[in-house]
Structure 1
Amino acid sequence: MRVASSADSSSNNSRSQMIMADSGSSDEVAVICNTDITSKESENNLINTMVERGTALLKKMEISVAEADKRTGKNTVNMQETYTVYLIETRPAESVSEEGTPAAPDTLWRRYSEFELLRTYLLVAYPYIIVPPLPEKRAEFVWHKLSADNLDPDFVERRRVGLENFLLRLASHPVLSNDNIFFLFLTEEKGWREAVLETGFQDKADSRLKSLSAMFRVKNPDKRFTALKQYSEDLSTVISQLLRIRARVADRLYGVYKVHANYGRVFSEWSAIEKEMGDGLQSAGHHMDTYAASIDDILEEEEHYADQLKEYLFYTEAVRSVCRKHELIQYELEMAAQDLSYKKQQKEELETGTVRIFSLKGMTSKLFGQETQEQRESKVAALEQSIQEGEEALKEKNAESQEFVEKAWNDIERFKEQKEKDLREALISYAIMQISMCKKGIQVWSNAKECFNKM
């Protein structure tokens, strides 16, 4: 496990600025379900500058996940467990001390489960936003020589980088960066969990469970969201296939490189029985040993490129989540319209005394006679009130749907630009790494050729 040091923290802060560029800002930011922290504002004026409306937090604050630490304690069922915590460091941007050096950062520790709670809250509070995904909790799509243990130091280090990237994604988002719960996550170690639970987001999440069946009942789905959902599923399939292929190629490369160690051993043994050829064989064997040993660092570097692809594999689920939430809003809109139509039909039947379709009410009228004028007038009055309420409800659902579509599509367009840029750069970097790896292989055999020429 990594050991904390001031130099290490400093290097991570500079690295955090390179990982994520600011995605821009807008003049007006729509924020819903924000938790009021006015009691804190009088104690800490940073809130006014860090969460200024219309700005991205990353412009105001430097954020990094500086290190990870393994700890042991008891869980909620009083059983001993080993877990990992991550040190979050924050400091106001461009802050310096009297000596002219960067001011010491504020620090706090968070568990992975707290990152999960933050993201779950954001998914509920901002249903129209493609919320950035967390890095994987357990390693997937790995080549078999790499440990899949979630406490393995190499895996924990990659997850640390992923969690830092997650925070930087949020801090650069024009809407999410303004959320007070997110700000408290970065700055308040104690009381944050209670603050997020007090928002009541869990009740709101539970009330939307019917979205699972809404997709099967929507009669007039939005073609744009239907196409986007299909695209996200196709993209998920493609990236999964890429990651599986990469894992197989990594296995094969590992074997090829390690076999070169046999060249080194044989050349070394051969050099022991030769006089004139001995030095050349020994040098060639040394080049082969170096080549064989280099594969571990190469594949570790390659794993970071794979993690960038994995981020967008998980992003596809975030895209589908927005599509499902739109399906639920559309379903509720259609139900409100259907209910209003039924009430208007009931009113018409009462006023005209005719029943257009077979119903229990019609059968009852035939068996027991028609209702009196006073009864009909009373029911008509009640229906008129109900119709008026239904029209208001339909109007609200229409407004909610239009607002959701507008906000969601703005965020989708922003996401598309981000996705194309990130994936293009990741694939180019991966290709450059492969070219470099091949050049190193050519260089090793060129060096071996020179050794053989000198024999």
Structure 2
Amino acid sequence: DPQQQLQTQSEQQQPVQLSLPKPSGRYLRVRIADQERSPDDRVAYVVETRVLDQEATPQELRDLLGSHALQTCRYYSDFDLLRGFLELKYPDCLIPPLPDKLSSYAPWKIAGQKFDQDFLDNRRFGLELFINRVLCHRRLSLCQQVVSFLRHDSEWRLRVFTPAIGQQLDAAISARSAAFRLRSPLPAVATMRTNAAAVRAAVQAVAKAYEQLVARHYRIHRLHSTLGGILSDWCGLEEDPAFADALQTAGHYMDVYASGADSAVGEDDELLNRLREAAGFCDSVAGLCRRLELKILKAEQLEDAIAAKRDEKRRVETDSYGLSLRGLRTRLFGAQDAEQKRAALYQLETDISQLEAGLATARRSLDAGSASVDSEMADFQAQRRVDLGRLVALLCEMRAEKLHRACRIWAHSRDTFARV
């Protein structure tokens, strides 16, 4: 019976359920339940937090949570500010990436729509991934500002975005594009950056190819929708009942195939979001390498400053300034007296002591940062293999399932078209 086959085929047309697990925090689980449009044309996200195990949660985290309601509204700019704050406070940690703020063009969407519902849903999913990955981290999950971000705290932004933090964020943005050369770069940092760039290029190539494939299949779905409409209209013009019934059945099969377009696009959007997140993590690795290089640069600048001060001290002790402005002044007006020389040497020794203390602190920070980065990268690479393996396997599985559905529809409709 064609109608029974059509009903069976419609049941088989149910979307494939994504089996990619969503990350969950060590002690907390965050869900962005909804999004709402504020009066000033901004999108606010309703963030709900649930404690996974009250007894296993550390006491310091329970004290931070307090009795506040674990539901609040946050904007995208709040998530962006939180990420910038974490980069400043934890420069040795791999901070998860944020989803794109603006919609990117896709053949099945209208470009430039700020409040496109599909884009907002994808961004909400990406923000939920971001905050849960932060809560998975052993250090970031215990940050006071992260917990305050999850509480109903209206003054959170005022406490975080202080003038000092604003200046540091501006300096960090400028440092990302600054060009400098290190005397003694770490080979491990160069290797990490090269590997991250290679993985990012590979992930972007997969995402681009998959997006083109999705666009092609979307056009095929729409073509079947048009064909189904033509066959349905044609059957109304035919007087022969058998011929009209065959046309109507063929049109139903085309409509069944076309009806899976929206659900297929939703599934593909989620997979593409995961691929974009993987590419964003590669950018986070590059940012981590950049912050480590800035620590090396700071140590080298302190070494140069100490060398310059020691050279100046030697010149003061020997009164040999060479062809400099101070040397010319010494020749014209005579050398400094003993008291002035003693004061200058004391000031130089004080400056050298302060610079050496700063250099020792910078080297300790660099050593600790290098060890922390090694640990972060080991955890990241282990998790990346699992996530990318599952993602690619699911991607292939979903495409194969969709092709099988198309083959089944056309296999059932072959006899119908033979009748036509």
Per-residue CA deviations over 1:425-454 (Å, capped at 9, x if unaligned) read: 122111111101110111111001233467
- What secondary structure is seen at the aligned counterpart in 1 of 2:34? strand
Per-residue CA deviations over 1:350-405 (Å, capped at 9, x if unaligned) read: 444556x6433444444555545565444334433332222222211211221222
Residue 334 of structure 1, CA deviation: 0.8
What is residue 123 of structure 2 aligned with on the other side?
159
What is residue 309 of structure 1 aligned with on the other side?
275
Residue 110 of structure 1, CA deviation: 1.7
What is residue 418 of structure 1 aligned with on the other side?
383
Matched, 1:59 2:18: no
Match of 1:436 among 377, 398, 401: 401
Matched, 1:71 2:38: yes
- What secondary structure is seen at the aligned counterpart in 2 of 1:448? helix
**In 2, distance between residues paired with 1:137 and 1:206?**
19
Determine what percentage of the aligned residue pairs are the same residue: 25
**In 2, distance between residues paired with 1:16 and 1:113?**
30
TM-score, scaled relative to structure 1: 0.76
- What secondary structure is seen at the aligned counterpart in 1 of 2:42? strand
What is residue 116 of structure 1 aligned with on the other side?
80
Please give the root-mean-square deviation of Cα atoms over the aligned residues, in Å. 3.0
Q: Amino acid of the residue matched to residue 135 of structure 1?
A: P
1:170-249 → structure 2 map (5 Å cutoff): 170-197=134-161, 200-208=164-172, 211-212=175-176, 215-249=179-213
**In 2, distance between residues paired with 1:158 and 1:420?**
24
Q: Amino acid of the residue matched to residue 413 of structure 1?
A: A
Whether the 8 Å contact between 1:258 and 1:293 is mirrored in structure 2 is no
- What secondary structure is seen at the aligned counterpart in 1 of 2:387? helix
Whether the 8 Å contact between 2:228 and 2:251 is mirrored in structure 1 is yes
Q: Amino acid of the residue matched to residue 38 of structure 2?
A: R
What is residue 45 of structure 1 aligned with on the other side?
none
- What secondary structure is seen at the aligned counterpart in 2 of 1:85? strand
**In 1, distance between residues paired with 2:20 and 2:70?**
17
Whether the 8 Å contact between 2:235 and 2:245 is mirrored in structure 1 is no
Whether the 8 Å contact between 2:224 and 2:258 is mirrored in structure 1 is yes
1:362-373 → structure 2 map (5 Å cutoff): 362-372=327-337
Matched, 1:19 2:12: no
Whether the 8 Å contact between 2:84 and 2:169 is mirrored in structure 1 is no
Residue 337 of structure 1, CA deviation: 0.5
- With CA pairs under 8 Å and 6+ residues apart, which has the higher RCO, 1 or 2? 2
Match of 2:222 among 258, 263, 266: 258
Whether the 8 Å contact between 2:250 and 2:413 is mirrored in structure 1 is yes
What is residue 349 of structure 1 aligned with on the other side?
315
Matched, 1:87 2:52: no
What is residue 292 of structure 1 aligned with on the other side?
258
Structure 2 gaps, min length 5: 1-17, 55-68
Q: Amino acid of the residue matched to residue 225 of structure 2?
A: A
Match of 1:333 among 299, 303, 306: 299
Q: Amino acid of the residue matched to residue 78 of structure 2?
A: E
- What secondary structure is seen at the aligned counterpart in 2 of 1:131? coil
Whether the 8 Å contact between 1:109 and 1:189 is mirrored in structure 2 is no
Equivalent residue pairs, number:
387
Whether the 8 Å contact between 1:90 and 1:106 is mirrored in structure 2 is yes
Residue 118 of structure 1, CA deviation: 1.6
Residue 106 of structure 1, CA deviation: 3.8
Match of 1:384 among 331, 344, 349: 349
Q: Amino acid of the residue matched to residue 90 of structure 1?
A: T
Relative to structure 2, which stretch is displaced further, 393-402 or 174-183?
A: 393-402
Whether the 8 Å contact between 2:71 and 2:152 is mirrored in structure 1 is no
Residue 120 of structure 1, CA deviation: 1.9
Per-residue CA deviations over 1:181-234 (Å, capped at 9, x if unaligned) read: 111111123222223235942243345566357541433222222333344344
Whether the 8 Å contact between 2:37 and 2:43 is mirrored in structure 1 is yes
Whether the 8 Å contact between 1:132 and 1:315 is mirrored in structure 2 is yes
Whether the 8 Å contact between 2:235 and 2:247 is mirrored in structure 1 is yes
Q: Amino acid of the residue matched to residue 49 of structure 2?
A: T
TM-score, scaled relative to structure 2: 0.81
Residue 94 of structure 1, CA deviation: 5.2
- What secondary structure is seen at the aligned counterpart in 1 of 2:37? strand
Whether the 8 Å contact between 2:26 and 2:137 is mirrored in structure 1 is no
Structure 1 gaps, min length 5: 1-14, 22-57, 73-80, 96-104
Give the helix-richer structure, 1 or 2.
Answer: 2
- What secondary structure is seen at the aligned counterpart in 2 of 1:19? coil
